[in-house]
Amino acid sequence: MSSRVDRAAEDVLDAGERVRFERLVLPHLDAAFNLARWLLRDRVEAEDVAQEAMLRAFRFFRGYHGGDARAWLLQIVRNTCYTRLQKHEPDDSATEFDEELHPQADGTPEALAIAGDDRDRLMRALESLPAKFREVLVLREFEECSYKEIATITELPIGTVMSSLARAREKLKRSLVAADGPKGSREGGRS
């Protein structure tokens, strides 16, 4: 039992390291949750994974030797998500998107209705993509990661990141066009 206590004591960071962790890693908690949310498609699971990933990051912070703290944390989140997905083997069906996380912009009721419809279509199309495509799109478009950061997070070569992103965008575009119907336009005559 004493070896477990000794090991647990080693895992605790001293005050200076805790401050450094809070300064470098903690500001990226929202990005961690956002990535987990998109990969897992479940808010509660995403909260659990973000918390678990943050605890792992805290525990192994001594092994962090500089560089991009956000990319380091998001890599932990990504790995934790895929571990969870492998354990549960879900049927990969889409779950409801939580509109509270993405409030509507100000504007006229008509503009809000159009924006809401567009946002709903985009979210449904994005949720329909396989996880590897959702992942690169979320990292690039929502988290504004560079190709290099995405490569670090996903442990893929930059060329593969770029081609995956291009394929993801094409699949998303096809999904949106298919949702528009055979003529490529929605009801209401908007262009």
Q: What is the CA radius of gyration of the chain?
A: 20
Domains and CATH numbers, the chain: 9-88 (1.10.1740.10), 106-179 (1.10.10.10)
DSSP assignment of 159-191: HHHHHHHHHHHHHHHHHHHHHH-TTS--TT---
pLDDT in tens, 68-96: 999 999 999 999 999 998 887 644 444 44
The pLDDT value recorded for residue 93 is 40
| Entry pTM | 0.68
